[in-house]
Amino acid sequence: MKLNIFQKIAFLVYISIIVLICVYFVPYQNNDNYTFHSSIMSDGYGTMSYFRFLIYLIVPTISFYFVCKYLEAMSSLESNVYKKKAKKELYVLFFFVSIIAGTILFSYGKNEYSEIRKKRLENQISEINNSFDILKEELNKRPPFVYEILNNDSKKPWEQNYEVLEKDSEIRSNNFVPPSDGTILKGERPPLDLSGARDILKGNVDEYGIKIKKSTRKLNLDLSGYYKDFQKVVDNVLKEIYNVRFSINRKTQIERNVKQLIYSESSSEDLNNMIIDYVKVFSEDGIKKTKLEFELKELNFYNIKFNVVFAFLGSLILLYIIRPLFSMFKGMLNEVR
């Protein structure tokens, strides 16, 4: 039996339904008797449920058989009417295929674009994080404050500690030790006066160098120069890290925080951590990083399976179920008239 063009179109639609089932709706069953669907080419998902898969194939096959029987009558139409209806059905078939192909291409294309955008955002965020790490390394190069050295609970005997302090005083005297008037000057500075350090450290150990108790003596250091000195160091570091910038208000606020921590005799590590945290939140790159992370979070990746199935079933129902029923209902009204 020779198939007419309408039966051929129905066959193509039937084949597309079978392909969709084989790609997305092959039933599998695992050891826990849990059933799920995947592609017929999938491995390692469990055992295929052949009986259910057979039902999935039988239903569209029976439907196709009855549709073909119904479309046999189209062969008896007049030549002009036959060609007119055939041309119309070919346009409908082309529109149906275009919807499916367009959905697949759009979904894959959008996901590829989102993946490229994701990598680009991640690279930009990584560059900003690297700049924060560089900033932290630069800040950590600053020697500790004198009161940190004098308050250090070392396990060495006090004589060795005192030698270390004397050696450190020669190195740090030109960096972070304020003179008696509380100002910090660049250039030559007097060596660090550690006359009180021997007694303080000696109170921590006995004559054998064994620690006996932690010193509770308060160091009466003039901290007025530390702030200005540390501020200059921070300014220089921020200038070297070209992509870390602050507005005037934010710069003023970070200077206040630095000054407060110094006068509360916080450690240099605490100060550095505070600056890094402040940079991550309030610097231009910190704000940029927040925006990039928000964009990264808002990226959408389409569920290709859902889009294809939805477009396929939607267009199939609309073009090959609702449209023929509407034509049939319209023909019934014409007969009544």
| Predicted local distance difference test score (pLDDT) of residue 228 | 64
CB 264 within 8 A of CB 281: no
Decide which of 140 and 39 is more confident. Answer: 39
Q: How far apart are CA 138 and CA 142, in angstroms?
A: 8
- At residue 31 the predicted structure's pLDDT band, cuts being 50, 70 and 90, is confident
For residue 27, list its beta bridge partners. Answer: 37
| Mean pLDDT on 83-93 | 93
Q: How far apart are CA 280 and CA 242, in angstroms?
A: 15
Q: How far apart are CA 306 and CA 129, in angstroms?
A: 37
Q: How far apart are CA 13 and CA 19, in angstroms?
A: 10
Q: Which long-range contacts link 219-225 to residues 24+ away (Cβ below 8 Å)?
A: 219/147, 219/150, 219/151, 221/146, 221/147, 222/178, 222/180, 222/182, 223/147, 223/178, 223/262, 223/263, 223/265, 224/178, 224/182, 224/183, 225/177, 225/178, 225/179, 225/182, 225/183, 225/184
Query: Hunting for tokens 């990746």 — which residue is that?
Result: 301
| Mean pLDDT on 231-246 | 58
DSSP state of 37: E
Range in 20-24, 140-144, 292-296 the model is least confident about? 140-144
Residue 104 clears pLDDT 90, i.e. is over it: yes
Identify which of 218, 233, 224, 219 has the alpha carbon closest to the alpha carbon of residue 174.
233
Q: How far apart are CA 255 and CA 249, in angstroms?
A: 10
DSSP state of 242: T
Amino acid letter, 219: L
| Predicted local distance difference test score (pLDDT) of residue 188 | 40
| Predicted local distance difference test score (pLDDT) of residue 238 | 58
Residue 134 clears pLDDT 80, i.e. is over it: yes
| Predicted local distance difference test score (pLDDT) of residue 288 | 86
Range in 44-58, 66-80, 133-147, 201-215 the model is least confident about? 201-215
How many residues in total does the chain contain?
A: 337
Decide which of 301 and 258 is more confident. Answer: 301
Range in 27-31, 183-187, 238-242 the model is least confident about? 183-187
- At residue 285 the predicted structure's pLDDT band, cuts being 50, 70 and 90, is confident
| Mean pLDDT on 295-323 | 92
Amino acid letter, 37: H
Measuring CA to CA, how many Å separate 19 from each of 8, 27, 90, 314, 336? 17, 14, 20, 16, 42
Residues sharing a CB contact under 8 Å with residue 267, sequence separation 6 or more, in sequence order = 144, 145, 148
| Predicted local distance difference test score (pLDDT) of residue 111 | 94
- At residue 227 the predicted structure's pLDDT band, cuts being 50, 70 and 90, is low
> How much of the chain exceeds pLDDT 70, in percent?
65
CB 255 within 8 A of CB 226: no
| Tally of helices (H runs) and strands (E runs) in the chain | 12, 3
CB 250 within 8 A of CB 285: no
Q: What is the Cβ-side half-sphere exposure of residue 159, based on CA atoms within 13 angstroms?
A: 5
80 token code pair: 């002009």
Domain ranges of the chain: 5-120+303-336, 152-218
Decide which of 168 and 95 is more confident. Answer: 95
| Predicted local distance difference test score (pLDDT) of residue 167 | 47
For residue 37, list its beta bridge partners. Answer: 27
